[in-house]
Amino acid sequence: MEPDRKLELVFLWHMHQPDYRDHATGEFRRPWTYLHALKDYTDMAGHLERNPPVHAVVNFVPVLLDQIEDYAQQFETGDYRDPLLRLLARDSLDRMDPGERRLVLATCFPDNHVRMVAPYPRFERLRNLYRQLEGQGEAAAAYLSGTFFTDLLVWYHLVWTGETERRSQPLLAELMTKGEGFTLAERRQLLALMGQTMRGLIPRYRALAERGQIELSATPDTHPLAPLLLDFASAREAQPDIPLPKAHFYPGGRSRIDRHIGLARESHARRFGRPPEGMWPAEGALSVPLLSQLAAQGCRWTASSQGVLANSLRLSHIEPATSLLYHPWRIEAAPGIAVFFRDEKLSDLIGFEYAKWHGRDAAQHFVDQLARIRDEAPAGETPLVCVILDGENAWEHYPYNAYFFFEDLYGLIASQPWLATTTCTEWLARNPERCGKLPALVAGSWVYGTFSTWIGDPDKNRAWDLLCDAKQAYDLVMDSGRLDADARRAAEAQLAVCEGSDWFWWFGDYNPREAVESFDALFRANLAHLYRLLRLNEPPQLAAPLSRGGGTPEGGGAMRRAS
């Protein structure tokens, strides 16, 4: 090995939650946005703040930021539109109705028992008490007192706090030590701390960006699966035989994607002071037409995954080689934007494997893998390795929410003289000529290099057909001039919600049944609300569930999506 050989590393942490609001009522149907904000987005900021030498890209989806600000306002005013927060703030839980009891019991026992329940004996005792009554109906559950539900709600929110917050906020340690019999005053203190955390979250990331440690990037507004909105047939570039919806195309997809990109750039500038230089497309899903639209709106870079690069190299008749992953590319049909590709093995080690390891061993193994890549690179080249994954879903599977893993990982990386972390924009500024030139790009995503997670299954295709029907109705009404300016804005905002990719992710019998049913119901509710905003009758097909039922039942807690 040459003693002066180097390697550069980009971490891209993608922060996203779908829009859980029922826009007809303003109610939040699921709590995951504020829970991940309290636990994961705070911890991820804390890890970076404690390790200034480590640079990274942090990607925020505008619809996530919208919800974070919505929650911050709820905490500020005390007017809670999330049912769990409303219950946590209630003076007394002695007179809960059966629906409220069912909600708390179905939600507040995290599925990840080993990491989020078992380490806390008082919380586990609540779980054991409930298990004695579980399955015996509402009459048996009625024996559970208001004190039981009060303590359960407090414990649930305590285990969804970040490890960095627990080490800096005495209140959290005090409540965990007390363990039971939480008073209304203590619940109000907890709510006040949660509100403080939510309000400070976006400013913390802006401060990290302003001091040059992180680059903030964005995703089109509500996280649409853009290549499919542009052309359903793009799914057949990687899977020629995949079944497609009955509709031949999504009406007006090009203008809608332009709008999503534009809204994301406006959102980013408003919150962080300037438009983003780069965009992580929803689910790393790229196609040549999307690249052209991103470049036309001023995006300098985007990214996808190794499987998309492998498919594209084969189509371009380029002999595959490991080193081809370790620099960005420009596609001949859209040369104005650089495309970075993630190392799937290293990203998935963090996302799925290292949670089972001792933190220091995992960090050392990760750095050893980087050293191997450096040593195997062609002479004279400095590899650029991109590690890209969700910035929230993996950490609850680690001890202490990955606190010690990140301390060891970031500390070890910063101590290596041959290893430097960077960002996509920094790298492009220093290496304007180092992008490879790729004759073609095969459309695909960071899941299997295909779009099969969002299209092809009968339930997914039916969902696309319902959305296409709604978009046709939308176009007719908008063209008619029947709506005033405020009504037009409301209808367009609701359409954007319906265009999010997550609705299509969850359809399919391989996902947990409870999650499928929940997303199915909210998707149809969103479409129904769109029709009402257009002053049209709701189609009768929105009354019946789309899904044939998911797979295994799901316990409480956040869903861990595949990366």
pLDDT digits (tens, 9 = 90+) for 370-419: 999 999 999 999 999 999 999 999 999 999 999 999 999 999 999 999 99
CA distance 203 to 467: 36
Give the model's confidence band at 95: pLDDT under 50 very low, under 70 low, under 90 confident, else very high: very high
Element (H, E) at 433: none
For tokens 């409480």, the residue is 556
Q: What is the pLDDT of residue 551?
A: 57
**Crossing angle for the helix pair 170-178 and 146-159, nearest 10 degrees?**
140
Q: What is the pLDDT of residue 98?
A: 92
What region does 212 belong to: left with phi over 0, alpha with psi -120 to 50, or beta? left
pTM for this model (two decimals): 0.96
Mean pLDDT of 116-121: 96
Q: What is the pLDDT of residue 511?
A: 80
Per the DSSP assignment, residues forming a β-bridge with 224 are 500
**What is the percentage of the chain residues whose pLDDT exceeds 90?**
92
Helix (H, G, I), strand (E, B), or coil: what is residue 210?
helix
Q: What is the pLDDT of residue 140?
A: 81
Q: What is the pLDDT of residue 448?
A: 96
Comparing CA positions, the residue from 121, 156, 319, 294 lying closest to residue 220 is: 294
pLDDT greater at residue 550 or residue 143? 143
Percent helix, percent strand, percent coil in the chain, to nearest 5: 55, 10, 35
Q: What is the pLDDT of residue 3?
A: 59
**pLDDT higher than threshold 70 for residue 30:** yes
Q: What is the pLDDT of residue 207?
A: 98
Query: 58 φ, ψ to 5°?
Result: -120, 125
Mean pLDDT of 355-361: 97
- What type of residue is 72? A
**pLDDT higher than threshold 50 for residue 561:** no
310 contacts: CB under 8 Å, gap ≥ 6: 320, 449
Q: How do residues 241-262 score in pLDDT, each as one tens digit?
A: 999 999 999 999 999 999 999 9
- What type of residue is 98? P
**pLDDT higher than threshold 80 for residue 203:** yes
Query: 476 φ, ψ to 5°?
Result: -65, -45
Q: How do residues 283-331 score in pLDDT, each as one tens digit?
A: 999 999 999 999 999 999 999 999 999 999 999 999 989 999 999 999 9
Give the model's confidence band at 134: pLDDT under 50 very low, under 70 low, under 90 confident, else very high: confident
- Where are the strands (E) in 351-414, listed by range? 384-390
Give the model's confidence band at 509: pLDDT under 50 very low, under 70 low, under 90 confident, else very high: confident
141 contacts: CB under 8 Å, gap ≥ 6: 101, 105, 133
Per the DSSP assignment, residues forming a β-bridge with 338 are 301, 330
Q: How do residues 135-177 score in pLDDT, each as one tens digit?
A: 888 888 888 999 999 999 999 999 999 999 999 999 999 999 9
Would you give the DSSP letter of residue 534? T
Virtual CA dihedral for 280, 283, 288, 294, nearest 10 degrees?
-30
Give me the chain's average pLDDT, please.
Answer: 95
Q: What is the pLDDT of residue 138?
A: 81
CA distance 277 to 264: 12
CA distance 61 to 97: 36
CA distance 558 to 563: 15
Mean pLDDT of 210-235: 98
**What is the percentage of the chain residues whose pLDDT exceeds 70?**
97
Q: What is the pLDDT of residue 553?
A: 42
CA distance 471 to 480: 14
CA distance 139 to 562: 39
Q: What is the pLDDT of residue 68?
A: 98
321 contacts: CB under 8 Å, gap ≥ 6: none
For tokens 């001792």, the residue is 358
Element (H, E) at 329: strand 329-331
Give the model's confidence band at 558: pLDDT under 50 very low, under 70 low, under 90 confident, else very high: very low
Helix (H, G, I), strand (E, B), or coil: what is residue 279?
strand
CA distance 205 to 216: 8
483 contacts: CB under 8 Å, gap ≥ 6: 477, 491, 534, 535
**pLDDT higher than threshold 50 for residue 503:** yes
What is the Rg, in whole angstroms, of the alpha carbon atoms belonging to the chain?
Answer: 24
* Burial of residue 539 (number of CB atoms within 10 Å: 0-12, 13-18, 19+): middle
For tokens 């990607």, the residue is 59
Q: What is the pLDDT of residue 550?
A: 55
3-state secondary structure 253-272: HHHHHHHHHHHHHHHHHHHH
